[in-house]
Structure 1
Amino acid sequence: MSPAGKRAVLIGGAVVMVAIVAVAVVLLTGGSPAPEAAAEPTATSAAAGPVAPDPTSAAQLYLKDVAAEQTDEASLLTDNPHDAAAALRDAWYTLKPTGLQAKLGKVAEPAAGAAKTTAAYTLTWDLGPGHVWSYDGSLDLVHSGDSWRVHWTPAALHPKLQAGQRLVIATAPADEAVVVDRDGKPVVISGPGGTHLDPAAKFPLLTQALTGQGTSSPSDTFAVQRVDTSGKALETLFGKTESGQQAVKSTVSISVQNAAQAAVDSYRGKAVIVAIQPSNGGVLAVAQNAAAGTSPSALHGLYAPGSTFKIATATAALEAGIVTKDSQVACPLTARIGTRTISNEGFDLGTTTVHRAFAHSCNTSFGQLASQLPPDALAGAASQYGLNADFDIPGLTTEMGKVGAAGSADEQVEEGIGQGTVQVSPFGEAVMAATVAAGKAVTPKLWLDASSATTVNEGYRAPPASVLASVRAMMREVVTGGTATGLARSGTVYGKTGTAQFGDGAEAHGWFVGYRGDVAFCVFLEGGNDSGPAVTLGAKFLAGVK
């Protein structure tokens, strides 16, 4: 009797359900032979293929041969042995199962005179300890000549496979976000290339803090994936390539950082922008251009604040009851106060109001107000804005400022206009602006997770609401009719400009500190000599903040 005849006899006695067949794969010198090394069915072998007199027999024998890794034999039970053999061999070679079980389900009865029908199947792949993959599919069966065949499509191997696609094992973890920004956008990525900032997240001064908080993905990931002809993963069909870990949520904002970085990069000198969210203290952005170097001076560099410190001087004077914002004060071009001669930058307002003197940054007015205060009043007001506070933010080293009681009357006059011994950081100035906006003490933070909360070593209490209301009105006037009108078209902005001499007095720093909505920020131009460019950068920054 011929082999085909013997096969027909076996088919006649077959049962409807395929017996479970587990085949151990013996790996010699690296596994099964590569698909391209196996012999392909020839036209002669296909013609001499087994005869399956009915759909059930065709489906049974096909599944039995697939489960037994008899890929060539299984292909001869299809209407396209060449493609079927290649796909089945490839599946066995790439998945390398320790066993495969195949079960035939319901076979639909062909309609009268019809030459096609379908049969349900279940394949269960044993891919190693803890990795048993089972799924259901459907075979298309067609009558050809004197026999039934499985109509070959990739769906005869897996229901989601399409032409040109194949199954592969993925054991390397996929790139996934381990730190996200306040909007849920990826900031830190972990994957086969290690842990690093996402290309779209540019936080040069915060890189170490952000990547240090991210946890690498575990390396024991395992998945079966559907890939295209280029090897690109289209879908994970079994297992996972992600760790399943919840990404750590930071307070930073990629969009705000990009706006800040673009603004400082447009400036030729040393430029810094720090932005904080007043409502929760979240650090939104810390940007510093190449000219400013790589040391994070934005976070802990201490500098004379110049006239931005008039926010504290005005607060001390209002709290002491010396003036209200509408009180009359003198604003001459120069004034001799104690042994110090104080000058304005080329203007004289005569007798004016406190709020107008503040808006135009009148040094002679505020030097005089400072001279009338108790020795510790300016330090006390500065402390109410967090400039003497101390915070431990996980991953960051920050310094707010150093403002102590004046050592002499002359020193107090100088401190009243932000000179002398007063020192602040851009970070501290941003917190000061955030305090004005929030109306309460602001604890800066980089993380929204309670386990990474900021430690308050020395906190502070904000000025009274009535005082802050006056300060806000004066800061708004700075923009609408004072020294920062360059921000008048940037929305409802509140702020204060500052120019602070340093060294031998030949050079000066340029400042702008303020807020719009829930974004408080500080622009600092080291050695910028003027506050005008700081205002310009502030407008560029806000133009990019939506």
Structure 2
Amino acid sequence: MLLVPLGLLCAAAFVAGAVFAGDSAEREAVERFASAWADGDYAAMHDELDAESAARYSAEDLEKAYAEAASTATATAFEIDEPSDEEERGGDTVVPVPVTATTGAFGEVAGEVAVPVADGGVSWQPNLVFPGLDPGEKLVAETKLGKRGPILAADGSVLASGPASARVTNGAGGIVTGETGPAGRKRAEQIAALGLPADADTGTSGLELAFDPLLSGTPGGRLLAAGAGGRTLLARRAPTPGEPLRTTIDAKLQDATAAALGSTFGGAAVLDARDGDVLALAGLAFSAPQPPGSTFKVVTASAALEEGVTRPGEEFPVQTSTVAGGREIDNAYDEACGGDLVASFAHSCNTVFAPLGVRIGGEKLVEEAEQYGFNSPPTIYNPEALALTRPPESTIPNPLESEVEVAVSAIGQGEVLATPLAMASVSQTIANRGVRSPTAMVKAPELSGNYPDVEVMSPKVAAEMKEMMVAVVASGTGSAGALPDATVAGKTGTAELGTSDGRPVTDPEQEQDVDAWFTAFAPADDPRLAVAVMVVNAPGDGGAVAAPIARQILAAGL
């Protein structure tokens, strides 16, 4: 018996039986032909053909014919048994070979391939590619998918439902669920393996793509032998419906988050501060990393405190600019900024945190960022789903080659890039006493990936960071993120993107493009929500533009 996996026709132990004196040269040729089929050795198969067949068909012709048959039948493996004795059928001598095909759409298809023999070899015909085909017949597949499974919010309410060709999303749920449509070239091979047309509607982005196999169910249909005399049914299987996919999304908060962001070009992410579950996403929540600006100072500050490089009461010079790594670093709006670490953080002093990054060192700064999840795929799905969707990583260069790179990275500039999802996770880590939880989007552990928690810092440092973030909102740059009934801990960020005409900034009056950021958690004393908002090409800084959006989201969720 031989097992022949589709696409990798591996050699297996072929039980050919003893060869007796009475065995003909033709039967021995069929045994070798079947063994070569199992090995995927089309040249060896061709060697067993009789002279007439060998002249008519090349080894390449054989390979193409068997591949097309396997594709039509959605075959994933063939099981080939020992050939039977020669028989006379319709005036021809044939050697029956029992073959069982395992298919994706039709289940197991068992039958025989009646191999004609003549002149000591195989008299090859195109019907020998699949069990059950008679001379002149070819395979025809009629396949379809079952009912597509719905995508559900955490409470069971429907976010998306209906067939892939006419998917219906409820409220702002489509932002999370992704889209369906024609598969396109990238997934053509996968779709063909299901026996579906290359332009079949399927998941193309987001959860619809990540968990398309689960939502699609198992295809079914009819496999037919078609010839001049009509069609003969070889196999039939009903399609099985897809399964529902329950997410971690809070439907009401999802709608509120999308409404808060509105038509603003940017993104927002909301997490459960207690376990990291994704509660809401809007816009570019995890699809387009941007420089995080001063929100990255949360990473820098926690690294400095954890490494003992500084302490909350350390005093820093009050100044408008400084030199770090040989480069002049200015504060926003040429503000004279400094004081103790808490005040410097609250007022987002570049003149403190760029040199502090140099004191930490590039290796430790990168290590801290990676503990927060930088330079790794987001933990939203299991690895198989991530491989399908390939969401971008939030990144920091590793290594940071110079002190200048360290200095600018420490204030979230240079080549540091982050998504709102990543920066919401940074806040969730502080809220969760220094432990970063995976940002799961689906409930079932086998689908979420069941990623472990990561202890980024000690509870002591997390408590110090919380007080610093509270000061940002209470008396610093993040006052627009404050709520009347809950204490908010946050951090603003304004990332410089260069100038509107692409030239370096040399004139302070020259117009400059910025991204505005705000990341936060609340209530500070008993955290329930962690949020991050990013506005691309913002009309103002993070405190003025992003913080009010985050405040609106927090107010809706608390």
TM-score interval, normalised by the smaller of the two chains = 0.5 to 0.7
Measured on the aligned residues, the alpha-carbon RMSD in Å equals 3.0
1:320 maps to what in 2? 307
Q: Cα deviation per residue 1:497-531 (whole Å; 9 max; x = unaligned)?
A: 00111244531111111122322111001111521
Using the alignment, how far apart are the partners of 1:435 and 1:251 within structure 2? 18
Cα 1:468/1:460, change in 2 over 3 Å: same
Q: Cα deviation per residue 1:128-147 (whole Å; 9 max; x = unaligned)?
A: xxxxxxxxxxxxxxxxxxxx
Residues 197 and 211, structure 1, Cα contact 8 Å, conserved in 2: no
1:249 aligns with 2:246: yes
Cα 1:316/1:451, change in 2 over 3 Å: closer
1:187 aligns with 2:159: yes
Residues 346 and 476, structure 2, Cα contact 8 Å, conserved in 1: yes
2:541 maps to what in 1? 530
1:510 aligns with 2:516: yes
Cα 1:331/1:367, change in 2 over 3 Å: farther
1:383 maps to what in 2? 370
**Offset of residue 278 of structure 1:** 3.0
Cα 1:467/1:399, change in 2 over 3 Å: farther
1:124 maps to what in 2? none
TM-score (norm 1): 0.56
1:401 maps to what in 2? 394
Structure 1 counterpart of 2:427, which letter?
Answer: A
Using the alignment, how far apart are the partners of 1:177 and 1:515 within structure 2? 34
- Secondary structure of 1:443 counterpart: coil
Cα 1:197/1:465, change in 2 over 3 Å: farther
- Secondary structure of 2:285 counterpart: helix
Cα 1:351/1:422, change in 2 over 3 Å: closer
Q: Which has the larger radius of gyration?
A: 1
Percentage identity across paired residues of the two chains: 26
- Secondary structure of 1:285 counterpart: strand
Using the alignment, how far apart are the partners of 1:344 and 1:311 within structure 2? 17
- Secondary structure of 1:502 counterpart: strand
Q: Cα deviation per residue 1:209-262 (whole Å; 9 max; x = unaligned)?
A: 34454647999xxxxxxxxxxxxxxxxxxxxxxx99974321112111111111
Using the alignment, how far apart are the partners of 2:175 and 2:273 within structure 1? 23
TM-score (norm 2): 0.55
Residues 148 and 242, structure 2, Cα contact 8 Å, conserved in 1: no
Q: Cα deviation per residue 1:423-445 (whole Å; 9 max; x = unaligned)?
A: 22222112212222223121121
Cα 1:176/1:315, change in 2 over 3 Å: same
1:480 aligns with 2:467: no
**Offset of residue 201 of structure 1:** 4.8
Count of matched residue pairs: 338
Residues 390 and 459, structure 1, Cα contact 8 Å, conserved in 2: no
2:45 maps to what in 1? none
Cα 1:410/1:181, change in 2 over 3 Å: same
Cα 1:459/1:390, change in 2 over 3 Å: farther
1:369 aligns with 2:363: no
1:125 maps to what in 2? none
Cα 1:309/1:201, change in 2 over 3 Å: closer
Which of 186, 207, 210 in structure 1 is aligned with 2:178? Answer: 207
Cα 1:398/1:438, change in 2 over 3 Å: farther
Using the alignment, how far apart are the partners of 2:338 and 2:373 within structure 1? 33
Cα 1:338/1:313, change in 2 over 3 Å: same
- Secondary structure of 1:486 counterpart: helix
Which of 442, 445, 467 in structure 2 is aligned with 1:447? Answer: 442
**Offset of residue 400 of structure 1:** 3.5
Using the alignment, how far apart are the partners of 2:292 and 2:270 within structure 1? 17
- Secondary structure of 1:272 counterpart: strand
1:420 maps to what in 2? 414
**Offset of residue 204 of structure 1:** 2.5
Using the alignment, how far apart are the partners of 1:334 and 1:272 within structure 2? 31
Using the alignment, how far apart are the partners of 1:350 and 1:359 within structure 2? 10
**Offset of residue 187 of structure 1:** 1.7
1:306 maps to what in 2? 293
Structure 1 counterpart of 2:158, which letter?
Answer: P
**Offset of residue 357 of structure 1:** 0.4
1:281 aligns with 2:276: yes
Which of 249, 262, 265 in structure 2 is aligned with 1:265? Answer: 262
Residues 331 and 362, structure 1, Cα contact 8 Å, conserved in 2: no
Structure 1 counterpart of 2:272, which letter?
Answer: Q
- Secondary structure of 2:275 counterpart: coil
1:166 maps to what in 2? none
Using the alignment, how far apart are the partners of 2:304 and 2:172 within structure 1? 43
Cα 1:479/1:445, change in 2 over 3 Å: same
Q: Cα deviation per residue 1:159-187 (whole Å; 9 max; x = unaligned)?
A: xxxxxxxxxxxxxxxx9983321122222
Structure 2 counterpart of 1:325, which letter?
Answer: P
